[in-house]
């Protein structure tokens, strides 16, 4: 429950700050954890909220593993697809329990470094997810829509992106085409 409240608080803080803070990152050249303000320092809130990613992409391959769950020890394909445009993220896949899952949220970069066609970075995703029941967590017994939040690391070589994302009890691996 505490994780759900933290996720909702982060999402609310981001939503409150984003329209007025100029977090658009339109120049496409991310160099630091937060965009430069006129004085060169956005403070701790800007560093936590991060920047809008410049990697619009179609996610065509999704795999997941649950290293802390003995019933799902191996990396397994999830039969799904998704995408990211601006900072809006969405996907659908078959989860480890065999249920259709929909996920929607925002993605932000804390750090992005580019050298020619190669790039690496880190950030986070927060949002909502459907398709789980009490087998995942007790809160899912009471609501069909759950909050989520997790840490993202990525690499890109030309138009191919590979992202790894950790949330709650799962690690995902995604392969995407960047446009």
pTM: 0.74
pLDDT value for 107: 98
Question: For the chain, what is the radius of gyration of the CA atoms?
Answer: 16
Of the candidates 60, 54, 20, 59, the one whose C-alpha atom is nearest the C-alpha of residue 37 is 20
Q: CA 167 → CA 28, 61, 65, 110, 176, distances in Å?
A: 27, 18, 11, 17, 19
The yes-or-no verdict on residue 75 having pLDDT over 60 is yes
pLDDT value for 72: 75
Q: Which CATH class is domain 2-178?
A: mainly beta
| Rounded Cα distance, 45 and 116, in Å | 30
The yes-or-no verdict on residue 30 having pLDDT over 60 is no
Least confident range from 10-19, 61-70, 127-136: namely: 10-19
Q: What is the 3-state secondary structure (H, E, C) of 8-67?
A: HHHHHHHHHHHHHHCCCCCCCCCCCCCCCCCCCCCHHHHHHHCECCCCCEEEEEEEEECC
Domain boundaries, the chain: 2-178
The yes-or-no verdict on residue 34 having pLDDT over 50 is no
The yes-or-no verdict on residue 40 having pLDDT over 70 is no
pLDDT value for 74: 75
| Rounded Cα distance, 72 and 136, in Å | 12
pLDDT value for 137: 86
Structure confidence by residue, pLDDT tens digits, 106-159: 999 999 999 999 999 999 999 999 999 988 888 999 999 999 999 999 999 999
């Amino acid at each position: 429950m505490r994780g759900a409240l933290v996720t909702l608080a982060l999402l609310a803080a981001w939503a409150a700050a984003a329209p007025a803070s100029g977090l658009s990152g339109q120049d496409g050249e991310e160099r630091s954890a937060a965009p430069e303000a006129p004085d060169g320092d956005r403070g701790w809130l800007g560093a936590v909220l991060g920047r809008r990613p410049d990697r619009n992409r179609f996610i065509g391959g999704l795999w997941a593993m649950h290293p802390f769950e003995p019933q799902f020890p191996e990396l397994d394909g999830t039969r799904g697809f998704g995408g990211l445009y601006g900072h809006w993220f969405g996907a659908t896949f078959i989860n480890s329990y065999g249920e259709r899952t929909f996920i929607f949220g925002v993605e932000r970069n804390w750090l992005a470094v580019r050298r020619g066609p190669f790039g690496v970075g880190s950030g986070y995703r927060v949002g909502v997810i459907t398709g789980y029941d009490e087998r995942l967590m007790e809160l899912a017994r009471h609501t069909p829509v759950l909050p989520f939040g997790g840490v993202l690391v990525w690499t890109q070589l030309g138009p191919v992106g590979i992202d790894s994302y950790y949330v709650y009890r799962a690690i995902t691996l995604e392969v995407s085409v960047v446009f």
